[in-house]
Structure formats: C-alpha cells, structure tokens
Structure 1
Amino acid sequence: MSEELRTMLQRDRASAMLGMRVVVDEPGHAVVSMPVRDDMTNGFAITHGGLVFALADTAFAMACNEDESITVAAGADITFLKATGAGQVLTAEARRRTRSGRNGLYDVTVTDETGDVVAEFRGRSLTTNRRLEE
C-alpha cells in the first residue's frame, strides 16, 4: 500500500465508522470488507442500499487512486442483485477495466460471506491535478 493510499484511508472517517477493512490494496485492484450491523438495515431489515454503494465506492476509490494524483469519481451506478441483512459480511472487489488519460473505468463486485453476488457497481474516475497533502 503506498503512503498516499494509506493517508487517504486514514482520513476516511466514513469508511472507518462503517467498519470497513481493506483486504487488498494494489494499483487498479482493491478488496474491502464490511460487517453488516443492525443499524445498517432499512425498514425491511435489509442492508441499506446506500451502504452497499458506500462499500463499493470505497473499493473503487482505493483501486483508482493508484499514483500520486488525487482521483475522484466522475460517476457511478449500481445494480442490486441479492438482499442481505445484519450479521452478514459483505466484500467489494474493484478492478480497473481501462484507464486513458485522466479517465478510468472500474468494475466492483460486492459479494456476501457465501460468495453470492449482492451487487455490481461500475465507477467512472477522473484524475485531478491535485496531490494528496500530508
């Protein structure tokens, strides 16, 4: 894990609050897991879709920030395929599909603890001219 990514993750209070843990951090590839707590479910006792999106977005952010430049999301969409609930562990695996100039395309698959696919996320990145400051 590069120093920039470590700093980025250390400053990410939202991911920390949600209990996310980085399992793999490589250029263009990241795996992040998150246990689902009772307070992460909606009125139907299903994991809130926004939190599934947040997990996928964190893996996407880790994968696309692969050098010294700050890269941000230009857009993203998600397809929910399976409901989950409290007590389960979700894992998001992000992979770079392509990167051209300042633009990138990344796919993220979210699975549950059994390996079943919960959601598919596609993120579009934009590399800025900014550098992460310590």
Structure 2
Amino acid sequence: MTPQERAERSAAAMWANDRASKWLGMTMDAVGPGTCTMSFDVQDHHLNGHSICHGGYIFTLADSAFAFACNSHNRFAVAQQNQITFLSPGRGGERLVAVAHEVSLSGRSGVYDVEVTGADSRQVALFRGLSRIIKGEHFEEDLS
C-alpha cells in the first residue's frame, strides 16, 4: 500500500464518523501523507457580533484539517496542544480554506502547521497543532 493510499483510507474511515466537521459544512478537498486541505463557506450563522466569522469556527476548520493530517498514517492521533493566531477576519459569504502539513513526526509526537486563507488568498489564521499517537488504527493493514 502506498502512503497516499494509506492516507486516503485513513481519511475515509475518519470522515465516516466525523459529525462535527460535516455539521459545520466542511469539505475535505485533498488528503495525503501528513497533509490535508479542508474548507467551508462562512454563512450568517457563523458570524459573531462584529459581523465577522467567529474565531471558534476558524479554529474548528484548522483543527479538523490538522486532525486528518496527523491521522493520515493509519495510526490514531489526538491533539496534545494547539494554538492559533488570527490575522484577518473571515467574511460572510466567503470560502475559508485550511491547509495542514506535517512539520515533524518523531516517535509518537507530531508537529503540524495549518494556514487558513480567505477567498482572496489572504491569510486569515495560522495554527500549530501538536499531536500524540495513541493505541489503534483506522483500518487493518495487510502487512504481508
């Protein structure tokens, strides 16, 4: 099995049970070994009192892309620590895109960066996630 096939199968297994990302209206646009691109359209119910996208939704988008990236190796991985820096507002009606990529994976610990951009390619947020591999895998692999 190639690393790309492993990433796709892992993502399909996770996506089947990911009610939160689906409820928000996210789509998984691409997945690969240590990487994932997800997006969603900012709708009226995502806007806060300043009429901009609530930061929690931007964080959730970045966190979901991070989750699929760090689970792409067919090993269960969970968030150990995350942080986000908001750079510009998400606007109603625009599509936000989160691109996650693996910076480091050593033993059971991973580091992932996620860039969230707006419709005009401006940076909306930068997210860094630290992952921890736990017991389990998304599907049984034939290692023969």
The two structures have a TM-score, normalised by structure 1, of 0.95
For structure 2, the residue ranges without an aligned partner over 5 or more in a row are 1-6
Change (3 A) 1:133 1:24: closer
Higher relative strand content: 1
Equivalent positions of 1:51-90 (< 5 A) are 51-90=57-96
Q: Percent identity?
A: 41
**1:113 alignment partner in structure 2:** 119
Residue 35 (structure 1) aligns with: 41
SS at match of 2:60: helix
SS at match of 1:43: coil
| Residue 85 of structure 1: how far off its partner (Å) | 2.0
Pick from 36, 48, 53 the counterpart of residue 47 of structure 1: 53
Match of 1:102 in 2: 108
Q: Provide TM-score, normalisation by structure 2.
A: 0.89
| CA-to-aligned-CA distance 1:45-90 (integer Å, 9 cap, x gap) | 1101000000000110111112221101001000000012210110
Q: Which has the larger radius of gyration?
A: 2
Q: Which residue of 2 aligns with 1:22?
A: 28
RMSD: 1.3
Deviation at 1:129? Answer: 1.3
Count of aligned residue pairs for this structure pair: 134
Matched letter for residue 85 of structure 1: R
Taking the aligned partners of 1:4 and 1:64, their CA distance within structure 2 comes to: 10
Distance in 2 of aligned mates of 1:25 and 1:129: 22
Please give the secondary structure, in 2, of the residue aligned with 1:132.
coil
Task: Give 1:92's match in structure 2, choosing from 75, 80, 98.
Answer: 98
**Within 2, Cα distance between the matches of 1:4 and 1:78?**
25
| Contact 2:34 2:73 (8 Å CA) reproduced | no
